[in-house]
Amino acid sequence: MARPRLRELSPRTMWLTAVVIAVLTAAAVVVLWWPATAGLNGAEVVSARLDALKVGLSVAVGSGGVVALYLSWRRQHSTEADLDNRERAPSPTRSTTRLSGG
């Protein structure tokens, strides 16, 4: 059974994904930056805000990793589908060999 081809990713979809990752990162930093540091002073504020920044950047890196895994899966799927289709397609050299009796 031949594998169905996946739809091509449009530039709009790629940009939308990048924007969603950026918004999630900004939201994580903002949520952890102000409410989590309310009432803290001095070194505690600095430490808590650096932790918030680390968490936000971790969200961005993790999201980027998920996107990279998805793109690798798509590439693998596409390659396998292409190979399946090539194996099923009649080869001109095979048909010539059959006709010549070799």
Is the pTM above the cut of 0.75?
Answer: no
Confidence class for position 12, pLDDT limits 50, 70, 90: very high
Judged against a pLDDT cut of 60, whether residue 95 lies above it is answered with no
* 22-47 pLDDT, tens digit each: 898 888 888 888 887 888 888 988 89
Which pLDDT belongs to residue 69?
A: 92
Query: How many helices (H) and strands (E) are present in the chain, helices listed first?
Result: 3, 0
